[in-house]
Amino acid sequence: MDRQLLKAATRDSFEESDSTLKETVSRNRSMVLARTAEGNTCLHISSMHGHGGFCDAVLELDESLLSLVNSDGETPLLTAITSGHASLAFSLLRRCNKPGLSDSIPRHDNNECNALHHAIRGGHKALALELIRTQPALSQGVNKFNESPMYLALTRDYRDVFEELFAIPDIAKKIMESCPWLAREENDSGHTPMQMAVRWNKAEMLQVLLEHDWSLGYAKNSKTGKPLLVSAAFQGHVNVARELLRHCPDAPYCQADRWTCLHEAIEFGHTEFVEFILGAPQLGKLINMRDGKGKTALHHAVRKCNPKIVAALLRKGARIDCTMLDQNRDPAIWELSEAMQHAKTLNWVQLKV
């Protein structure tokens, strides 16, 4: 590559290097296509530095630069993203999105990471969303580390990106068919795609995953030991719990310390979820199950001073044993002693059985 051209790409200006350089390059297009020892063109160099001005100027001379790759397998678009220049990447993406150049958008580097992989990993959510809309096929890419864009969105907890990916017809099904192991991959918190689908109340995605492999419904978080039903109860997501039980009628409902999904729903005040559990035949035993301290669902409902949930439990009549004692030999009614001030402010007339 011409030394002056390299300086111009680095400084973002033809004029600062040599006032006649642009004219020389325009007469000799082969200069624009020249490379460094690392395979970088002047557009790659300028993209590394985030110089939009030079990029625009050189692309006016030859847009084919957008399709050329360096020794890392990167197009200038990939270089801009991996170098952290999202605004420049937006500009290059718009230029690439035209006949004859659009094939450069889905190109991947030597690690088989495409632009969407890098945008998500780099934290460029707006760019990731634009890439999905511009080139939906990017969503199906799986790199050498067996990572799909959907998996990366899950691990980064990018709900908006995940939802945009999931909106692509059959994307979850296609990923499961080509890379089934991704459904069991965990992020740093031990969450799998299944657990994130529960967390975000994505019953449709849960259905796709379970139809492909119903054993996924029995998995627990490897770090917390929390099963899917307890996760659903934490958020009060009845739809995902119903879908889970449709595929796995005996899905795990409690943690190692015997804390159940019913205890969890009561703890966080999800009355609808409590009523769902009480109406599910396969979860009937939970109403009298004790946690690690011997407390039943009724103990927790009284402690939380929630008349509606207490009423829902008592409506089960003979199925609930109100005489059960915890490890301290205390019945549920004694839980009020620790929450008396709060209990006085509530309308216990709501407690209709």
In the CATH scheme, what is the homologous superfamily, with its name and number, of domain 282-353? Ankyrin repeat-containing domain (1.25.40.20)
- State the amino acid at position 173 in one-letter form: K
Residues 6+ apart with CB under 8 A from 174: 140
Q: What is the pLDDT of residue 237?
A: 98
Report which DSSP code applies to 120.
Answer: H
DSSP 272-315: HHHHHHHH-GGGGGGGG---TTS--HHHHHHHTT-HHHHHHHHT
At residue 282, the pLDDT reads 94
Q: In angstroms, rounded to a whole number, what is the distance separating the alpha carbons of residues 318 and 322?
A: 9
Residue 290, token pair as written in the block? 């004790």
Side-chain half-sphere of 317: how many Cα atoms within 13 Å? 1
pLDDT of residue 18: 56
Amino acid 340: pLDDT: 58
Say if 1-107 and 282-353 have the same CATH topology: yes
What gap in Å lies between CA 305 and CA 308, rounded to an integer?
A: 9
Could you tell me the residue ranges of all domains in the chain?
1-107, 282-353
What is the number of other CB atoms lying within 10 angstroms of the CB of residue 136? 17
Res 308: pLDDT:
93
CATH fold for domain 1-107 = 1.25.40
Counting as low any pLDDT under 50, the low residues of the chain are: 348, 353
DSSP 161-222: HHHHHHTSTTHHHHHHHH-GGGGG---TTS--HHHHHHHTT-HHHHHHHHHH-GGGGG-B-T
